């Protein structure tokens, strides 16, 4: 029986949270002015105060399980990128920049080893980029240099498997271009952001993250026509997603998505 890429890689359909870099805030250091800061802001979820401990414990548990698996299978590329994913997820709950950076460095090292063994594995490039983002979160200087490598790795992942992690490469490229300063400071580009966010929504339309990121971008750009059209699409697809994406692994994702969807609906009411 043939297996899909996801099955061959040991991909599990349920995710503790969606893999994305939403919430990035960029500033640029120019001359002696203290305008430089790159930060991946931790997401604030509805009910996060009461659920944070449970979500954090789950992420840490996955981290240690993936770490143990990699330690007993050091040359296993699947174990390597899965550990990189676990690092990205757990680093979101780090209690200090040092801890977040330390976890990210472990994920980066594991993914670089995966790529060294097999440069054609999309998850290795993808989670290398994700953990580079976590590392950048701890930097006040030099973080924008990391953005270039993130862009390269997401592009490579996209070339190898554009559908990985529910169109994750396009989603995160879109967010990268959406959040970053434009030329000459960095790679920010409204046109590129639109292209990749729309592409992610086309490739994995039922995945809530893709629709919500696109709607949030339309809202920020003041693109009322696209926002209204996207809202109609999301209203049709989100009920389907709620039926398909169920269970413990999806609790954290829905906590975030429900809060953002509420804001979007409020914004739509303002436009009427």
Nearby residues of 113 by Cβ (< 8 Å), 6 or more positions away: 80
- 259/44 Cα distance (integer angstroms): 9
- Pinpoint the alpha helices (H) of the chain: 5-8, 48-72, 77-91, 97-117, 122-136, 143-160, 164-179, 190-203, 208-221, 224-244, 251-271
> Which of the following CATH numbers is that of domain 19-42+51-204: 1.10.1660.10, 3.40.50.300, 1.25.40.10, 3.30.750.24?
1.25.40.10
| Chain center to CA of 66 | 19
pLDDT of amino acid 48: 45
CA distance linking residue 232 with residue 219, whole number of Å: 14
Phi and psi for 94 in degrees, rounded to 5? -60, 145
* Rounded Cα distance, 204 and 213, in Å: 13
Going by C-alpha positions, the residue among 79, 93, 136, 128 that lies closest to residue 107 is 128
Q: Return mean pLDDT, the chain.
A: 84
- As a whole number, mean pLDDT of residues 77-87 equals 97
**Average pLDDT for residues 45-72, to the nearest whole number?**
83
Backbone angles phi, psi at 104, to 5 degrees: -60, -40
**HSE-CB of 256 using CA atoms within 13 angstroms:** 20
What are the residue boundaries of the structural domains of the chain, listed by start? 19-42+51-204, 205-272
For the question of whether the overall pTM of this predicted structure is more than 0.95, the answer is no
192-225 tens-digit pLDDT: 999 999 999 999 999 999 999 999 999 999 999 9
The residues, ordered by sequence, that sit 6+ positions from 195 with a Cβ below 8 Å of its Cβ are 174
Most confident of 130-139, 153-162, 172-181: 153-162
pLDDT at 272: 64
The pLDDT score that the predictor gives to residue 52 is 80
pLDDT, tens only, 230-254:
999 999 999 999 999 999 989 999 9
- Whether the CA torsion 231, 260, 255, 192 is positive or negative: it is positive
Residue 61 CA from chain centroid, whole number:
20
Is the bond into 184 cis (omega within 30 degrees of 0)? yes
Helix, strand, coil shares of the chain, percent, nearest 5, are 70, 5, 25
pLDDT at 66: 97
Within 10 Å of residue 28's Cβ, how many Cβ atoms?
Answer: 16
CA 166 – CA 253 distance, rounded (Å): 13
Which tens digits make up the pLDDT trace of 19-35? 677 655 543 332 222 22
Q: Using the 8-state DSSP alphabet, how is residue 188 labeled?
A: B
Q: For residue 210, which of 223, 220, 224, 196 has the smallest C-alpha distance?
A: 196
Query: Would you state the pLDDT for residue 184?
Result: 86
Size of the chain, expressed as the number of residues it contains: 272
Q: Is pLDDT of 17 > 70?
A: no
pLDDT band at 180 (very low <50, low <70, confident <90, very high): confident
Cα–Cα dist 63/90, whole Å: 7
- Both tokens assigned to 225: 């026509």
Banded model confidence at residue 8, pLDDT cuts 50, 70, 90? very low
Contacts of 246 (CB under 8 A, 6+ apart): none
């Amino acid at each position: 029986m043939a297996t899909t890429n996801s099955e061959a890689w040991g991909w599990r359909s349920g995710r503790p949270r969606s893999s994305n870099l939403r919430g990035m805030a960029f500033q640029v250091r120019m001359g002696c002015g203290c305008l430089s800061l790159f930060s991946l802001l931790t997401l604030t979820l509805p009910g996060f105060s009461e659920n944070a401990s449970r979500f954090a414990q789950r992420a840490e548990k996955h981290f240690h399980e993936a770490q143990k698996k990699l330690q007993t299978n050091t040359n296993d590329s699947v174990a390597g990128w899965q550990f990189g994913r676990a690092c990205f997820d757990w680093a979101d709950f780090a209690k200090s920049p040092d801890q977040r950076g330390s976890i990210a460095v472990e994920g980066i090292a594991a993914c670089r080893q995966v790529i060294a063994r097999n440069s054609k594995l999309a998850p290795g490039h993808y989670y290398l980029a994700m953990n580079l983002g976590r590392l950048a979160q701890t930097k006040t200087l030099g973080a924008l240099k990391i953005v270039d490598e993130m862009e390269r790795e997401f592009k490579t992942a996209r070339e190898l498997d554009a559908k990985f992690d529910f169109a994750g490469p396009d989603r995160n490229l879109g967010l990268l271009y959406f959040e970053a300063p434009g030329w000459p400071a960095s790679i920010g580009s409204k046109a590129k952001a639109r292209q990749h966010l729309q592409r992610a929504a086309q490739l994995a339309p039922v995945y809530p993250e893709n629709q919500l990121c696109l709607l949030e971008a339309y809202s920020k750009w003041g693109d009322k026509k696209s926002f209204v059209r996207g809202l109609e699409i999301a209203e049709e697809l989100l009920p389907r997603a709620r039926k398909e994406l169920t269970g413990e692994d999806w609790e954290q994702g829905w906590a975030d998505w429900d809060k953002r969807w509420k804001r979007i609906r409020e914004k739509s009411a303002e436009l009427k």
